[in-house]
Copies of this chain bind each other. A is one copy, B any other.
């Protein structure tokens, strides 16, 4: 698989997080010659928060992890790539149970503290006997510095591993946030085929971590779209080991603790960084596009308009062709169903004012727009002229390579 032309030139090395230990191996679940199984083990008292797909046909691992989240505690995470274990009937649940059973006996924890995620082909039974016997070896080889390998092990059609980190000063100690993610196709709000796992040594009660996780997801993974498709397997989990308590950091137990806001800022940064990396690995992507909508009835309406633009095949192919076709943007605003004043609508391509008052700006020249479209990263501003709602959505273009990748991914 050719590396995305929008891939980062270098990868940041993630520093270890005390007590977060990881191991990966080649289980050969679907892919040969690459890592496809990840085990993460956490210390006791690790809290967990999460957001899952809204799909009505969610996978067995999503069902179980959603249930386990109610317990608010995590000791282990098992992720496999190559098979989503989705739409696999009773056998799907059986595979999850066997994975969890193998893990609890190694880690010595109740089943409710094991989280699972699977990504890959839908509808093919996941055979647990293909990899559960490998977990014992993984458990013996857990390390604190295998972040890059962990990010690689959860990839499917991704062309590069996705990692991000940030630190926050908390009670005179530097608390760390490390995150990994995967996702390339089937990316849409409500997260689509994406997995992301975030780890921190900050001590945060689960009832504080959960709203922070939800808020950060809304502004990151739920604000991106590659093709408008939503997966059966989407999972974001944030694990907080509390390791920093050893360095004098007191547990955050309330949302109004000022440290919670500091942490939220850092968490947002990590999640947005990972979300952008997913868009930059959008199948076939050659452009990274930020759609900034303002002047909508409210923020929700602005998001709907942004997604209508970002998901429009006609808009996306225009970007691919470096065609400053703002008429297609008008079309996508119109089809969103949200209030927009056609005669107050304005559009900017970067610095170039293209349309105002519902028609092309008198000083706009097509050559300006065409030159701007040559950029790899694009900022499109749309004001729909009815209110103060705003939202930014990130997306990529729709190219021949998207078709090539998806017309023969499975067979």
Q: How many copies does the complex hold?
A: 2
Q: Is A408 an interface residue (CB 8 A)?
A: yes
The 0/1 profile, CB within 8 Å of B marked 1, for residues 66-102 of chain A is: 0000000000000000001011111110000000000
Residues on B with C-beta less than 8 A from A185 are 314
Do A331 and B229 touch (CB < 8 A)? yes
Question: Is A55 among interface residues, defined by CB-CB distance under 8 A?
Answer: yes
CB distance B408 to A334 under 8 Å?
A: no
Whether B334 pairs with A56 at a CB distance below 8 angstroms is yes
Instruction: Give the size range of A's interface with the partner.
Output: 35 or more
Smallest CB–CB gap between A59 and chain B, Å? 9
A332 close to B229 (CB less than 8 A): yes
**What is the chain B residue whose CB lies nearest that of A315?**
B229
Which residues of B sit under 8 angstroms from A122, Cβ to Cβ?
327-328, 330-331
Cβ–Cβ contact A355 & B321, under 8 A: no
Contact, CB under 8 Å: A230 / B334: yes
For A312, list chain B residues within 8 Å (CB). 227-229
Q: What is the distance, in angstroms, from A403's C-beta to the closest C-beta of chain B?
A: 5
Instruction: Tell me whether A46 is interfacial, beta carbon within 8 Å.
Output: no
Considering the chains assembled together, what is the distance between the CA atoms of A229 and B248 in angstroms? Answer: 56
A331 to B84, CA, bound (A): 11
Which of these binds chain B: A129-137, A170-178, A339-347? A339-347
Given A87-B359, A186-B331, A408-B323, do A314 and B229 touch, yes or no (CB 8 Å)? yes
A122 to B355, CA, bound (A): 12
Kindly provide the distance from the CB of A291 to the nearest chain B CB, expressed in whole angstroms. Answer: 16
Pick the residue among B92, B323, B332, B406 that contacts A407 (CB under 8 A).
B323
Q: Once the chains are docked, how many angstroms separate the CA of A56 from the CA of B318?
A: 21
Beta-carbon contact of A186 and B314 below 8 Å: yes
Are A323 and B400 in contact, CB atoms less than 8 angstroms apart? Answer: no
Return chain B residues, CB-CB under 8 Å to A398.
Answer: 313, 403
| A403 CB contact (under 8 Å) in B53, B86, B342, B400 | B400
Residues from chain B with Cβ under 8 Å of A336 in the complex? 56
CB distance from A88 to the nearest CB of B (A): 6
> Please, how many angstroms separate the alpha-carbon atoms of A37 and B347 in the complex?
31
CB-based contact A121/B327 at 8 Å: yes
A334 to B56, CA, bound (A): 4
Closest Cβ of chain B to A265, distance in Å, is 31
User: Does residue A141 face the partner (Cβ distance < 8 Å to B)?
Assistant: no
- Cβ contact within 8 Å between A331 and B55: yes
Do residues B402 and A330 form an inter-chain contact, with CB atoms below 8 A? no
Interface string of A27-52 (1 = CB under 8 A from B): 00000000000000000000000000
Residues of B within 8 A of A370 (CB): 411
| Shortest beta-carbon distance from A343 to chain B in Å | 7
Q: 3 shortest A-B CB distances, which residue pairs? A: A122-B327, A321-B407, A89-B359
Q: What are 11 inter-chain pairs, A to B, with CB distance below 8 A?
A: A56-B333, A57-B330, A87-B345, A122-B328, A122-B331, A123-B359, A227-B313, A228-B313, A232-B331, A318-B407, A327-B410
